[in-house]
Amino acid sequence: MPTEPTATGRHVREVVFVDGVRTPFGKAGEKGIHAGTRADDLVVKCIRELLRRNPSLPPERIDDIAIAATTQTGDQGLTIGRTAALLAGLPRTVPGFAIDRMCAGAMTAVTTTASGIAFGAYDVVVAGGVEHMGHHPMGAGTDPNPRFLTEKLVDPAALNMGNTAENLHDRFPAVTKERADSYAVASQAKLAEAYGNNRIQPDLVPVAGRKPGSGWTLHHTDEPPRPGTSLEDLASLRTPFRPHGRVTAGNAAGLNDGATAALLASSDAAAELGLPVKMRLVSYAFAGVEPEVMGIGPVPATEKALRQAGLRIEDIGLFEINEAFAVQVLSFLDHFGITDDDPRVNRYGGAIAVGHPLASSGVRLMTQLARQFEEDPSVRYGMTTMCVGLGMGGTVIWENPHHADYSLKMSEDAA
């Protein structure tokens, strides 16, 4: 990141990822594990867990709470960052706000507050997201301007994410249904292996839930995974977005409920407060594409983030790519010449297996990348990237503090 002074004389400061947690992801609907739990209470669970895991952080040192939600109404409305801070028992002096960039909501909460840290407005922040798709189905209560269609500003498919994925298959015929299904099977298998190796559980916040007509249950694992899924299983699924299509419930993320939260700080504040450093922010970028093929958004966003960082795609040792649809990931891999089974990609599986509660998913990617950094100190740089509805993509590049050439450690040693 640049180090030139700003117009006010401030120097841009290094931003570090201290910690990240999430609730188990549930299936949306009345039978899902979070059906009887409010969205804001899911966020509160995450905030409290961050404080529990980082006891050296005085709550009053948190400078802001940024929480994303795509459908900002009901229990996801009322400036959820502020209401969640109050509900979590934080001091009244801690402000908060809500943010929306659809699927990249939590990612944008991180990048927005990280910019405030870099500028010097904040020392420590909490950033995350929530989506209770059981309470608030995607698009519920929205009123798209009729000019989008009457003036042909966007293709009608742009308003339906499944249709945009079918359009991406049209644009990239090398990404066949069979290939998408094969990728989805691998995602399920990798998540099952990660669970078997206790890679996922340490960052999950147990949530007590109650379904109508039944008692309370403590949920501590994700609900959507289908371990043991086979190609034969997926081949039999219908294609709901197009007759004889290629997108199915098996090679796309489901409709889910869940929340995430991350703790970010300046490197100086982290050192002062004795907070761990799990990653250093290197660069980030967002980019727009045609809304009807929104899944290709991570490509220009990644190219932009790499340029800003002075890196090449070959420098990225780990990729956490949100699996909204298999075709979206595969088109990204093809663009950059990466094979479908590259061991750098989604080592713990992805959203096809674990779920995608829209605005919360960006921090899940970051939390999983941080754990992989700790596991593999040979990797210096990693990336979190995702497509975004209405034709966007977002990418964040991170550096591994466990790598021998970690730049922040080198600069501190030099000082």
**Reduced 3-state DSSP string for 69-130:** CCCCCHHHCCCHHHHHHHHCCCCCCCCEEEECCHHHHHHHHHHHHHHHHHHCCCCEEEEEEE
Residue 7 has pLDDT above 90, yes or no: no
Specify the CATH number of the domain 15-135+151-399.
3.40.47.10
Phi/psi at 138 (5° precision): -55, 125
Per-residue pLDDT at 323: 98
Q: Identify whether 135 is a catalytic site residue.
A: no
Q: Distance between the two ends of the chain, CA-based, in angstroms? A: 18
Q: Are strands 64-68 and 316-321 parallel, antiparallel or unpaired?
A: unpaired
Domain ranges of the chain: 15-135+151-399
Cβ atoms of 138 and 132 closer than 8 Å: no
User: What pTM did the predictor assign?
Assistant: 0.95
Residue 356 among the catalytic residues: yes
Question: What span, in angstroms and rounded, lies between the C-alpha atoms of 386 and 70?
Answer: 15
Residue 8 has pLDDT above 60, yes or no: no
Q: What is the mean pLDDT of residues 186-197?
A: 98
pLDDT of residue 97: 98
d(CA 12, CA 408): 14
**Nearest-angstrom CA–CA distance, 323 and 408:** 31
pLDDT at 6: 46
The question of whether 103 is a catalytic residue gets the answer yes
pLDDT at 216: 87
Q: Which residues pair with 392 in a beta bridge?
A: 288, 388
Closest CA to 76 of 359, 413, 392: 359
3-state secondary structure of 282: strand
Average pLDDT, the chain: 94
Average pLDDT of span 91-102: 98
pLDDT digits (tens, 9 = 90+) for 348-369: 999 999 999 999 999 999 999 9
Q: Residue 393: which H helix or E strand, with range?
A: strand 392-399
Q: Which of 135, 136, 219, 356 is catalytic?
A: 356
pLDDT score for 113: 98
Residue 156 — very low, low, confident or very high, per pLDDT cuts 50/70/90?
Answer: confident
Alpha carbon distance 129, 358 (integer Å): 8
CB atoms within 10 A of CB 5: 10
Model confidence over 217-257: pLDDT tens digits? 999 999 999 999 999 999 999 999 999 999 999 999 999 99
The CA distance from 309 to 305, in Å, is 6
Beta-bridge mates of residue 260: 22, 129
Reading the block at residue 188, the tokens are 């399920």
Buried/exposed code over 109-143 (b: 16+ C-beta within 10 A; e: otherwise): bbbbbbebbbeeebbbbbbbbbbbbbbbebeeeee
User: Tokens at residue 391, please?
Assistant: 């034709």
Catalytic residue among 34, 103, 132, 136: 103
Q: Give alpha helix (H) positions in 274-384.
A: 298-309, 326-335, 351-354, 361-375
- The mean per-residue pLDDT over the stretch 296-317 comes to 98
Q: What is the DSSP string of 179-203?
A: HHHHHHHHHHHHHHHHHHTTSSGGG
* Predicted pLDDT of residue 414: 46
Beta strands 279-288 and 207-210, pairing class? unpaired
7-16, 38-47, 52-61, 144-153: segment of lowest average pLDDT: 7-16
Q: With pLDDT > 90 as the criterion, what percentage of the chain qualifies?
A: 88
